Amino acid sequence: QAELGKPQRNCYTLPGFDFSYGLYIRRTDGGVPEAIGHWNTVKPRTAFVQKMPRDFITMNRGALKAGYTTAHEFNLYYKAKDIRHKDDEHSRFKRCPPKVPADLAYGITARPCTPFFDLLQHKYKELWMEQQRARTATQRAEKKKKDKVRETRTTFLRRHPPPAKEESFWHLPRLEKV
């Protein structure tokens, strides 16, 4: 029951001062004497020995020197002489690091600082205006090219008419010498 005239509490009551929180583990909770007296060390794990892959190039070369030619003979040679890659070939520590210039910095380069002098002089506005003027000029030039009427044979003949032929009257050939 809530107390009369007081708001209801929405929390739990805590245990007394003699209560200790957490779990008590008998083996490890011996305090300082336990820590000094017994050293619980972790035993090192035996490294997992990885079986290196077979060196087929060396085995094939040896089989050919021995005079084997068929696949069955090759398989028998592989079973007899199992040659594996050496540790040094696959070790990542043995490989030399890539050759990198001394002044190389990894990562993304920083953006250059904004030139405040150009901002104060409205240089970016002027550059934009020049680009707009150049663009309108190229658009006008293209429009003029489109507006130009293509020359056809008819328009060419209207401008430059061919010379008129002199008309010669036809006469009978027998009356030519008269």
According to the model, what pLDDT value does residue 58 have?
Answer: 92
Q: What is the pLDDT along the chain (178 residues), one digit of tens a residue?
A: 667 777 777 777 888 888 877 776 666 666 667 667 766 666 777 766 667 888 899 999 999 999 999 999 999 999 999 988 877 655 655 667 778 888 887 888 888 888 888 888 888 999 999 999 999 999 999 888 877 777 889 888 898 988 888 777 777 777 776 6
Amino acid in position 18: D
pLDDT at 2: 62
Q: Which of 44-54 are b and which e, b meaning 16 or more Cβ less than 10 Å from the residue's Cβ?
A: eeeeeeeeeee
Return d(Cα 135, Cα 140) in angstroms, integer.
Answer: 9
Q: What confidence score (pLDDT) does residue 29 get?
A: 60
